């Protein structure tokens, strides 16, 4: 089973749900930059205060801020990991690659969760997080298309990308995912 994975895909595609399940089953570190940022906001730290308004608008917080979070978590972790919601743009992907080189690690596979916009929007509206209202959702989808989607070609050219249909039940998707990760 592959041990070092990225989850890529639009908001609402199910990255967090699948990443959490897989990490629990395989004993991997689940690193969700969105969850970590929300925890900082909740705790009212300086970092959280800096990120809060940006997150509420659906834009991306600064690369430096997110990178510091990821670096501090990966530096002292020898085992496998699953990155969810990071990288979100090409500069973050490049920074991740140099961080991993310095740690003598590498990405083993990138899973792209795919789902139609209409289903994504329905799912996000049903979830009801603070940034899950119609206007902010539209912006997050646009940010995804403009800044994050170029990573698809980036990882495809490295031969790392696998596409996973995000439609259907959580269990069905989990099963399809597991079958992709067998060595």
In the complex, which residues of this chain contact ligand AMP (CB under 6 A)? 11, 33-34, 37, 54-55, 58-61, 66, 85-86, 88, 92, 140
Catalytic residue among 4, 21, 38, 88: 88
Q: Is-catalytic flag, 38?
A: no
Q: Is-catalytic flag, 106?
A: no
Name the burial class of residue 83, with classes exposed (0-12), middle (13-18) and buried (19+) by CB atoms within 10 angstroms of its CB. Answer: buried
Q: Is-catalytic flag, 73?
A: no
- Nearest-CB residue for ligand AMP: 34
Q: Is-catalytic flag, 176?
A: no
Q: Toward ligand AMP, which CB reaches closer, 59 or 156?
A: 59
* Residues 6+ positions from 34 with CB-CB distance below 8 Å: 16, 84, 85
CA distances from 53 to 11, 86, 106 (A): 18, 19, 33
Q: Toward ligand AMP, which CB reaches closer, 18 or 92?
A: 92
By the 8 A CB rule, do 12 and 166 touch? no
How far apart CA 141 and CA 36 sit, in angstroms, is: 21
Q: What distance lies between CA 107 and its chain's CA centroid?
A: 14
Q: How far is the CB of 124 from ligand AMP (least distance, A)?
A: 9
Catalytic residue among 25, 106, 127, 145: 127
Q: Is-catalytic flag, 145?
A: no
Q: Toward ligand AMP, which CB reaches closer, 1 or 56?
A: 56
* Site of tokens 């916009």: 117
**Residues forming the active site:** 15, 88, 127, 129, 140
């Amino acid at each position: 089973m592959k041990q070092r994975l990225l989850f890529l895909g639009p908001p609402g595609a199910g990255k967090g749900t699948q990443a959490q399940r897989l990490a629990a089953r395989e004993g991997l570190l689940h690193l969700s930059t969105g969850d970590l940022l929300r925890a900082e906001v909740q705790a009212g730290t300086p970092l959280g205060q800096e990120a809060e308004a940006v997150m509420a608008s659906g834009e991306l917080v600064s690369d430096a801020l997110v990178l510091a979070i990821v670096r501090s978590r990966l530096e002292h972790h020898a085992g496998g990991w699953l990155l969810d919601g990071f990288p979100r743009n090409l500069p973050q992907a490049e920074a991740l690659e140099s961080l991993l080189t310095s740690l003598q690690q590498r990405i083993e596979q990138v899973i792209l969760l795919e789902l139609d916009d209409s289903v994504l929007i329905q799912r996000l509206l049903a979830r009801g997080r603070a940034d899950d209202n119609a206007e902010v959702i539209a912006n997050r989808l646009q940010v995804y298309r403009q800044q994050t989607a170029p990573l698809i070609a980036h990882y495809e050219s490295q031969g790392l990308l696998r596409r996973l249909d995000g439609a259907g039940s959580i269990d069905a998707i989990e099963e399809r995912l597991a079958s992709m990760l067998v060595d």
